[in-house]
Amino acid sequence: MRISAEMATAINDQISYEASSANAYIAIGSWCERIGYDGSAAFFFEQAAEENGHMLKFIHYLNSVEAEAVIPAIEKPPSSFESLESIFQFGLKSEQTVTRAIYDLVDMAEKEKDRSTYSFLQWFITEQIEEETLFHTILQKFDLLGRDKLAVYQIDQSLASVRSQVMSKQTSQKQTYSK
């Protein structure tokens, strides 16, 4: 094994967080679909696919450094939610928790002088900035447009374009920083 046993355990914990996030986002997407929030349903199903992708990245990484990736059991997520705004608040909180967990892994890699894991984690730092910005931007819409039925409908319908705006802004910032 080319990383420490402690690091392998910590990354396996991260695999669990990513799996739980994916599951929670699928549950939210399903609730949205049932209620008729089509934009949000598509948004959360896509978000769930991203979390699944994150989980796989960690699994592949552990296997590549000859550690064992443990596929976790996942707790059943809630099946109903209070409002459209509350699910984005939930999403932001969940992303903030994941960001803190990633930073803890980075700290651990630094302490252990584990350059391989440190370098692997850099992608996740950028990814988490992007995800938090996305949820922040959507939550701002509730303050800007309001929370009545029409405003909520407009926010739901605008999500695909909010995602692509945030993503393209982040991509151009990444390009600027890398110049």
Q: Which residues bind ligand FEO (CB under 6 A)?
A: 18, 21, 51, 54, 95, 98, 131
How far apart, in whole angstroms, are the C-alpha atoms of residue 69 and residue 67? 7
How far apart, in whole angstroms, are the C-alpha atoms of residue 69 and residue 81? 32
DSSP letter for 66, please.
Answer: T
If you search the block for the tokens 């447009």, which residue do you land on?
A: 145
Cβ at position 107, least distance to ligand FEO in Å: 18
Q: Nearest residue by C-beta to ligand FEO?
A: 54
- Closer to ligand FEO at the Cβ: 131 or 156? 131
Cβ at position 131, least distance to ligand FEO in Å: 4
Cβ at position 98, least distance to ligand FEO in Å: 4
- Closer to ligand FEO at the Cβ: 54 or 141? 54
- Closer to ligand FEO at the Cβ: 48 or 152? 48
Which residue type sits at 37?
Answer: Y
Chain Cα centroid distance, residue 136:
13
The two tokens of residue 175 are: 């390009």
How far apart, in whole angstroms, are the C-alpha atoms of residue 31 and residue 123? 31
- Closer to ligand FEO at the Cβ: 21 or 40? 21
